[in-house]
Amino acid sequence: MSKVSQEILLQRAEKEFLQGNYAKALRSYGLILKDYPSLDEAKVGAYLSDLGDESGEEAQALFDYYQMIKEEKKNAVEIIHSLINSLDTTKESIYELLDVPEEEQIEYGDGIRYSDFLRLVESRGNFRQAFEDIMFSTKVVITDKDEFIDFVTKLADEGFDEMALGYLDATASLFGNDQEVLALYNVVQGMKK
């Protein structure tokens, strides 16, 4: 295999990955690793394609991060691998800490119920610490309007204004013209001042 074909294979695998075709991308990266077992690009691609089957958003975010650091850091592959292991460990730790039964872990996938998140807040002592602990590794599953209002208000109280606005913008249409939800915009804007 020549250098050109290696680049073409990498481009094809990367394109499959970016399109969210993680199984195909994993096969493509695997074929590259068969001929080039020490090729860092293919190693990272294989790691992230495997992760993509479970959580595409996390895989895409880590891929973007890798693209930023690969030129400046010699250990970029190790950093990505460490982050993947850290994400898995954090999720397991949260489930263990909250004593979440295994069947509920499967039900909520990469997220935890808001009530479980509030228990984590209690154990950590404050909302900010608990949210920072989970914000990159899991999602908070909100099931009703009251939970949503409480969550967005607490985000704003703790200085996560842009994130609170992002949640509002993304979900406001779900609540229609609900005045309590629309009032959250004023709450968040008031916290920014």
Span 37-89, pLDDT tens digits: 888 888 888 888 887 877 777 778 878 887 777 777 666 767 776 766 665 54
The pLDDT score that the predictor gives to residue 193 is: 53
* Domain-embedded: residue 78: no
Q: What is the mean pLDDT of residues 158-171?
A: 82
The pLDDT score that the predictor gives to residue 2 is: 47
* Domain-embedded: residue 13: yes
**Could you say which of 72, 99, 118 is where a domain stops?**
72
* Domain-embedded: residue 32: yes
Residue 104: pLDDT over 70: no
The pLDDT score that the predictor gives to residue 4 is: 46
- 187 and 118 assigned to the same domain: yes
- 115 and 180 assigned to the same domain: yes
Contacts of 122 (CB under 8 A, 6+ apart): none
**Could you say which of 26, 52, 72 is where a domain stops?**
72
Closest CA to 178 of 142, 138, 148: 148
Residue 98 and residue 119: Cα distance in Å, rounded? 7
Q: 159: left (phi > 0), else alpha (psi -120 to 50), else beta?
A: left
Q: Which helix (H) or strand (E) holds 113?
A: strand 111-113
* Domain-embedded: residue 18: yes
Q: Which residues pair with 113 in a beta bridge?
A: 141
- 8 and 64 assigned to the same domain: yes
* Residue 12 belongs to domain spanning: 3-72
**Could you say which of 72, 94, 126 is where a domain stops?**
72
- 64 and 115 assigned to the same domain: no
Residue 72 and residue 65: Cα distance in Å, rounded? 12
Q: What is the mean pLDDT of residues 102-116?
A: 60
Residue 148: pLDDT over 50: yes
- 55 and 113 assigned to the same domain: no
Whether the pTM exceeds 0.85: the reply is: no
Q: What's the total number of domains in the chain?
A: 2
* Domain-embedded: residue 148: yes
Residue 110: pLDDT over 80: no
The pLDDT score that the predictor gives to residue 158 is: 87
Q: 123 exposed, middle or buried (CB, 10 Å; 0-12, 13-18, 19+)?
A: exposed
Contacts of 13 (CB under 8 A, 6+ apart): 25, 28, 29, 32, 42, 45, 49
* Domain-embedded: residue 186: yes
- Mapping DSSP to helix (H, G, I), strand (E, B) and coil, where does residue 159 land? coil
Residue 176: pLDDT over 80: no
The pLDDT score that the predictor gives to residue 85 is: 61
- 185 and 113 assigned to the same domain: yes
Residues 121-133 have pLDDT tens digits of 888 888 888 888 7
The runs of H, that is alpha helices, within the chain are: 3-18, 22-35, 40-54, 56-69, 76-98, 102-108, 114-124, 127-134, 145-157, 161-171, 179-192
pLDDT tier at 187, thresholds 50, 70, 90: confident
* Domain-embedded: residue 30: yes
* Domain-embedded: residue 80: no
Q: What is the mean pLDDT of residues 174-184?
A: 80
Residue 105: pLDDT over 50: no
pLDDT tier at 140, thresholds 50, 70, 90: confident
Q: Which residues pair with 139 in a beta bridge?
A: 111
Per-residue DSSP letter, 174: G
Across the chain, mean pLDDT equals 76
